[in-house]
Amino acid sequence: QKHFAANAAHELKTPMAVMKSAIQVLHLEEKPSAEEYEETLELCLETTEQLSQMVEELLVISNPKEEAKEEISLKKMTEEIFQKYAGQIQEKDLVVWQQMQQDTWYIHPVLMRFLLENLLSNAVKYNRQGGSIRLTAEIKENQLHLEVADTGIGISPEHLPHIFTCFYRADPSRNKEIAGNGLGLSIVKTAVEKMQGEIIVESEEGQGTCFHVTLPA
């Protein structure tokens, strides 16, 4: 827990330091221009968004509260998520395939959103130019099976056992240009456990990664 708190503090400290120095620079200027104000505001807005997302994620990890299931349109949820990452999807020229046995599912809305948002955003982030993402959802033997597969950089066998650990990032040098804090998959794992499900991952370096989630239907 000590290690977790230290990592969390460090991750929160970095964006705050970025904001603080941007504000200090602006403050030092005698007469900052409108553009300089605009730039600083933009940076602060972006950074506070990152910070609030991290705080929300940390709350999910630490919150012992149970969430009730509801009838939810999974399609609507995934469309909202893909919409959020539309810029990156377009930039990378990714093809998205979605196959859902039905539209409405009896699920935990907040936990499912965290699960899908993290898996899908990773599938975008770690994908290659011109790659694809496949999302499937079906009921088999009274269980909901979800699969998120990508054609991205993959994860090497030595890193694979650790990717669900808080703040773990495989191959930091390769990951340097890809933004992240190593919290996404630990949130996914926590969400899956809270829903009494299971998650397994298959990956091949340079070929792609596939996450299989099984949840009680």
Whose Cβ is closer to ligand ADP: residue 82's or residue 126's?
126
**Residue 175 found at the interface with ligand ADP (CB under 6 A):** yes
* Residue 164 backbone dihedrals phi, psi, to 5 degrees: -90, 0
From candidates 152, 191, 195, 197, binder to ligand ADP by CB under 6 A: 152
Which residues share a beta bridge with 155?
none
- Contact in structure between 11 and 54 (CB atoms under 8 Å): yes
205 class by beta-carbon count within 10 Å (0-12 exposed, 13-18 middle, 19+ buried): middle
From candidates 81, 85, 135, 182, binder to ligand ADP by CB under 6 A: 182
From candidates 40, 78, 122, 190, binder to ligand ADP by CB under 6 A: 122
**Residue 11 found at the interface with ligand ADP (CB under 6 A):** no
Q: How far is the CB of 41 from ligand ADP (least distance, A)?
A: 26
From candidates 111, 150, 194, 199, binder to ligand ADP by CB under 6 A: 150
140, containing H or E segment: strand 132-140
Q: How far is the CB of 205 from ligand ADP (least distance, A)?
A: 9
Strands 143-150 and 132-140: antiparallel
Distance of CA 66 to the CA centre of its chain: 21
**Residue 183 found at the interface with ligand ADP (CB under 6 A):** yes
Q: How far is the CB of 118 from ligand ADP (least distance, A)?
A: 6
Which letter does DSSP use for residue 148 in this model? E
Q: How far is the CB of 103 from ligand ADP (least distance, A)?
A: 26
133 class by beta-carbon count within 10 Å (0-12 exposed, 13-18 middle, 19+ buried): buried
From candidates 123, 135, 137, 191, binder to ligand ADP by CB under 6 A: 123
The label of the residue with tokens 């990152």 reads 50
**Residue 213 found at the interface with ligand ADP (CB under 6 A):** no
Q: Which residues bind ligand ADP (CB under 6 A)?
A: 118, 122-123, 126, 150, 152-155, 163, 168-170, 175, 180-186, 209
